Structure 1
Amino acid sequence: MAENKTRALSDVLDQLEAAAHDDSIQVQEVIEKLGRKSFASLMLVFSLISTSPASAIPGITTIVAAIVFILVVQMIIGRNCVWLPEFITHRRMSTQKLCKGIAWLRKPVHFVERFLKARLTFLLHRPWLWLPLIAILGLTLFMPFMEIIPTSGSIASAVIALFAAGLLTRDGGLVVLSLILLLGVPITVWHFGFSG
């Protein structure tokens, strides 16, 4: 069972790749493929898309920020099934760019999986879970402004992906790491992007 948990990230990439067909894929298809109750999987997928070379697409950071914001709000209020507005679910992504991004992510994901295991699982429940969720809410509000600073949106998305990976693999240690980074990202981006 533990081995299955540590493979959770690769499994999500496998599911996403299996959903890719034709020239483009609708966000709705991604949701249906991963499951309407898979908040962590969906958060991981969309944040990884924004971390991959696909992040070069104008506006992708803002779109991902909006999706993650809506997912987190639903997680905080305890909703069981994912809901996203139609203007998001009807958006389409290039399958070529998506598959290229998935291929690019395989190696780092495989590397990270070697260190993941179930630990500090009490942090994955309320009220502890609210701390990183609230931090992510704040970060997503900041992310649209990161569009003007190269790579900053990818960094923010990577930290959110770490949190989602922690949820999927029941790794509370990774959740703690993501919380520390979540608090530091806006300050770091502001310092290097706007100072001097």
Structure 2
Amino acid sequence: MSTDQHALSDVLDQLESSADGDSVTVAEIVEKLGHKSFAALMLIFSLVSTSPASAIPGLTATVAVIVFILVVQMIVGRKCVWLPGFITHRRLSTQKLCKGIGWLRKPVHFVERFLKARYTFLLHRPWLLLPLILILGLTLFMPFMEVIPTSGSIASAVIAFFAAGLLTRDGVLVVLSLVLLAAVPVAVWYFGF
């Protein structure tokens, strides 16, 4: 089993080790995961928004803003993560964060068994630009999804699959994220009406 297959669990471990005290700032999470870890940061915030922690008011909108900023930087080819102060100073409850991480471990371990480096050409330009642009568009709608139960979590799951594909060098996950992305409007329509 290649180390890439453990990449998702490694990110959860890193995040859990940053959870110290009553709360943790976004800046501390970025510091722990590394300033070049676009995919890891995208994965963490989208997973948190997919977990039961998504019930926190404003979390889906915050995740949308973070992912939007990360994707723009990936499109323009920036090497280091930059996030504005109003995001980096935001605090997350350590208890809720750890609860979310605990909830995510089982599905992450299950998914990791099927991951491997394949169709890696999809992770390079120009192929990578299509999913990046589509996810950028998705983030613009996510703040409005807060009013429709579970729709924000579905959108976050799409981003999580894409980020997991980047982290594990698995092009199949990237394609799967695009298939799920096509299902988001259907899910929003179904749950909204």
TM-score, structure 2 normalization? 0.98
Q: Counterparts of 1:152-167 in structure 2 under 5 Å? A: 152-167=151-166
Counterpart in the other structure of 1:12: 11
CA RMSD between the two structures: 0.9
**Residue pair 1:132, 1:182 contacting (<8 A) in 2 also:** no
Q: CA deviation at 1:194?
A: 3.9
Aligned residues: 193
Q: CA deviation at 1:159?
A: 1.0
Q: CA deviation at 1:183?
A: 2.7
* Structure 2 runs not aligned, ≥5 long: none
- Deviation readout 1:77-112 (Å, 9 max, x if unpaired): 000000000000000000000000000000000000
Counterpart in the other structure of 1:188: 186
2:107 is aligned with 1:108: yes
Quote the sequence identity (%).
76
Counterpart in the other structure of 1:92: 91
Q: CA deviation at 1:158?
A: 0.8
SS in 2 for 1:7: helix
Counterpart in the other structure of 2:118: 119
2:72 is aligned with 1:60: no
Q: Counterparts of 1:130-141 in structure 2 under 5 Å? A: 130-141=129-140
Counterpart in the other structure of 2:170: 171
Distance 1:86 1:144 in 2: 19
Counterpart in the other structure of 1:72: 71
- Deviation readout 1:33-91 (Å, 9 max, x if unpaired): 00000000000000001001110000100000000000000000000000000000000
2:33 is aligned with 1:42: no
* Structure 1 runs not aligned, ≥5 long: none
**Residue pair 1:124, 1:172 contacting (<8 A) in 2 also:** yes
**Residue pair 1:149, 1:193 contacting (<8 A) in 2 also:** yes
Distance 2:189 2:15 in 1: 35
Q: CA deviation at 1:14?
A: 0.1
Distance 1:150 1:176 in 2: 26
